[in-house]
Amino acid sequence: MSHKFKIAILGVGPIGSIVANALSLGQSGLDIFLIDQPFRINQLIQSGLLLNDNAPLRPEKDHLIDSLNYLETHSMDIICFCTKAYSLNTILPLLKNKISPKTLLISIQNGIDCENLLQASFPKNPVARMVVNFAGGIEGENGKVTLNWFHPPNAVALVEPGSAEKQLDVFIQAMSKSGLATEQVPGLEIKKNAFYKAILNSALSPLCALSNLTMSEAMASSCRPLVTQILEEGLAVAQKIGFNYGEHALSECLGYLEKGGNHYPSMWHDLNNNRMSEIDFINGRIVELGLRYGVPVPHNFMLTSLVVTKEIHAKTRLAEHTPAYLQIPQ
């Protein structure tokens, strides 16, 4: 590779760590920069990037960055947004005028329409969306990351085909060579995939977070009928906006969730560590679309309301930031 690609991983939690590790192992000649808050960067400086029982990946210290200002003076070929979806509302204004219009921006996040926020903030940049088909967690003082499972392949697409095809191809090849098979799909298909992933997340993430059950415990409990109803609501909303997943979609969703394993979803970790969750971009978005198009979504509404209430109680969300679709008309 004649040009040494510079890739910034913005957000080095479980997803960002797994992506960074894959890119580092999958393609020589890539220059990987890890950007996060000082606490996480200090973990990486002290312990390296720890993934499962692999030898720690030790990036050069000047590739471990604790400020977004770094991007103003260091141009990147690709920036991977691996933060929680809600943080985009804070991060994107801070990145204004700091990013080259040639930089490919890839949303690697849970939730519906994250890529739309990138497009709105950076209309001159090429934007891609990736839907990962793996799950991980992070724990301990050293920030060790665990890759819990991977059901290949991951999917990625440019929202609008254009000049970033070569950049995206470098990314795909590196991910795939590392063992995390990743395939390019059409732009409309990635939105359909992202919505499907959100439906899956909507069924267990808030339920496990609120009930203190792992994914496998929830699927084996009396909660299973509720999981089914949540899935049915999400699939009905998807159908209304033009995403048809086939006549066996419900059973396929249930089969997928049964493989989730005996671990807690990220929303459980968020609520139990007094952090804001991604509920607005998952169940909340399903509620918003359901109300807009006349599709009943009572179970998603209930779960969204409960999670938002817990966030307000924990002071991770201001009461005035309650989503409009949950507010009682005056």
pLDDT tens digit sequence for 19-44 = 999 999 877 789 999 999 999 999 99
Residue 28 CB partners (closer than 8 Å, separation 6+) = none
Residue 328: pLDDT band with limits 50, 70, 90: low
Cβ atoms of 158 and 187 closer than 8 Å: yes
Q: Do 190-326 and 6-185 fall under one CATH topology? A: no
Residue 2: pLDDT band with limits 50, 70, 90: low
Residue 284, both tokens:
């909340």
pTM comes to 0.94
Q: Domain boundaries in the chain?
A: 6-185, 190-326
pLDDT tens digit sequence for 60-98 = 999 999 999 999 999 999 999 999 999 999 999 999 999
Neighbour count for residue 118 (Cβ, 10 Å) = 24
Dist CA 270 CA 254 (whole Å): 24
Question: Which DSSP string corresponds to 38-102?
Answer: HHHHHHHHHH-B-BTTSPPB---GGGEE--TTHHHHS--SEEEE-S-GGGHHHHHHHHTTTS-TT
Among positive and negative, which fits the CA dihedral 253, 292, 186, 17? negative
pLDDT tens digit sequence for 124-153 = 999 999 999 998 888 888 999 999 889 899
Q: ω before 323 within 30° of 0 (cis)?
A: no
Class for the domain spanning 6-185 = alpha beta
In whole numbers, what is the pLDDT of the chain averaged over residues?
Answer: 94
pLDDT at 1: 46
Dist CA 74 CA 20 (whole Å): 18
Residue 3 CB partners (closer than 8 Å, separation 6+) = 77
CATH fourth-level superfamily of 190-326 = N-(1-d-carboxylethyl)-l-norvaline Dehydrogenase; domain 2 (1.10.1040.10)
